[in-house]
Each structure stands twice: as structure tokens, then as C-alpha cells.
Structure 1
Amino acid sequence: MTTKILLPIDHTDDRSWKKALPTALEMAKLYGAELHAVSVIPEIIQLPNLPPNYGSGAKDFVHQKLAAVLEAGGAGDVPIHIEQGSVYRELLKLAHKEGFDHIVMASAKGDFPNYEIGPNLARVVRNAHCTVTVVRD
């Protein structure tokens, strides 16, 4: 039975939440489950010409953008997680560490043979310890 659902969202790509957010909300309502949203900020490579604090404030910025997406989608009360690193690795670590038993993830547009299955989605589906629902665009 589903009790805790994780919804990865990329605030820069509405395909990551346009259909997946309503689906996740409906599933949470149906199962009486908690819904949480997560956004992963890719690792920032420290180059010699960048200041040491380069990228500070990124988590706050992404949190605000994600909160706006959720509010617009009728999910303003959904808890938000902001992680930093490899997208699929951070999703899998969070899902395992926090006891999520379901991940709802949007597909991405792509070309044959990887139509709508990007590398992060493929790795999450292959390696998740829990059920993964793919919401196709």
C-alpha cells in the first residue's frame, strides 16, 4: 500500500509537473498518502575562476520556484525537498532514506529508441527500491 509519494519536479520544465502533479495529487488522495515534492540542483563544478561561494542561494531560489509551481497546481501545502548532486542518485537516496514507497515521475520527450525515457528516469525505474509510476506526456 502506498503511504508516502515522492514527486520530482524540474521548475524549468513544465513537462516535469504539468501532468505528473495532478496524477500524484490524485494518487495521494486515493491512498490517503503523504505527497512530497523534490527538486535536484545539479552539482556545481568548482572552476578556478569562480568565487568560493558561487551557487550560494541556489537552494533558496529553487525552493521559491518549486513552491510557486506547487501553489499554482493546488498543492501549496506539499513539503518540499531540495537536494544537490546527481539527479537520479539524489532521488534514489532521498526515497530510500525518507521511506518513500512510491515515486511519481514524468517522462521526457526523446527520440527513438529512448522515446520519453530519459537517462534519469531510466535509472530511477531500474534502481528504485519502491514502485515508480511514469506519467507520459
Structure 2
Amino acid sequence: MATKILLPIDHTDQNSWKKALPVALEQAKFYGAELHAVSVIPEIIQLPNLPAGYGSGAKAHVQSAVEAILARNGAKDVPVRIAEGSVYREILKLAHKDGYDLIIMASAEGEFPNYEIGPNLARVVRNAHCTVMVVRG
């Protein structure tokens, strides 16, 4: 039984949420669980060769983009967390630290039997302390 569900969303890739968001909403309703979304800003904005302030405003932009996605898809009240760093590490750290017991993530699109399992999804599945539900793209 899930009590806290985490849904990672990449605002630049609708495959990360198009099928996974409805499943997450359904699971949250079924279990009476809290649903939270997270989006991770990759480490690239922290590279030393980029100009100072390169990533300023990134968190606010991503927050607003994810909130818009959620609002358009019947999930406007879902809280959003924005993290910076390695995508899979930040998802795993947040899930463990805040006591999530279910992570719902989408796979990339692919034809049967070769569904795409990217490196972030693979690492979350392998290393998560809790159940990970993979929604096929």
C-alpha cells in the first residue's frame, strides 16, 4: 500500500509524464496517497566553464513549466519539488529522505519487445529503497 508517491517529470519531454501522470493520479486516488512531482535540473548548468549566473532563473522556469503541465492534466494541487544535480541521484535522495514508498516513472518510447529503459530509470529501479512502477511509453 502506498502512502506517498513520487512522480519525476521532465518538462522538456512529454513522454516523461503523458502516460505516467494519469497512472500516478489513479494510484494516489486508489490508495488515498499523497502525490508529489519532482523535476531535476541536470548538472550541466553547474559546469565551471559556463558564465556566472548561467542557470539563474532555471528553478523558477522549471517550477512554472511543471505546474502548468500538472494544471492542464487535472493535477493542479500536486506539490512540485525542483532539485539540481544528477537526475537519478536526486530522485533517489528525495525518495529516501522524504519517505516515499512508491516512485512512478515512464520509460521512453520503443517498440515491443525493446522498450527503452534509459540510464536514469535503470538506476532508480536498481537502487530505490521503495517500489518503482515503470509506465511503458
- Return the TM-score normalized by structure 1: 0.93
Deviation of 1:116 (Å): 1.5
| Secondary structure in 2 matching 1:132 | strand
| Secondary structure in 2 matching 1:37 | strand
Take 2:80 and 2:118, find their aligned partners in 1: how far apart are those partners?
23
Q: 5 Å matches for 1:33-44? A: 33-43=33-43, 44=45
Structure 2 residue 77 is the aligned partner of structure 1 residue 71: no
Question: Deviation digits for residues 22-42 of structure 1, max 9, x if unmatched?
Answer: 000000000000000000000
The percentage of aligned residue pairs carrying the same residue is 73
Structure 2 residue 23 is the aligned partner of structure 1 residue 27: no
Structure 2 residue 109 is the aligned partner of structure 1 residue 122: no
- Return the TM-score normalized by structure 2: 0.93
Deviation of 1:51 (Å): 2.8
Q: 5 Å matches for 1:1-137? A: 1-43=1-43, 44=45, 45-47=47-49, 50-109=50-109, 115-137=115-137
112-121 or 68-77, larger mean C-alpha shift:
112-121
Relative to structure 1, the CA distance from residue 59 to residue 114 in structure 2 (aligned partners, 3 Å threshold; closer, same or farther) is farther
Deviation of 1:121 (Å): 0.4
Structure 1 segments (4+ residues) deviating >2 Å: 109-115
Take 1:96 and 1:120, find their aligned partners in 2: how far apart are those partners?
16
Relative to structure 1, the CA distance from residue 26 to residue 81 in structure 2 (aligned partners, 3 Å threshold; closer, same or farther) is same
Name structure 2 gaps, 5 residues minimum. Answer: none
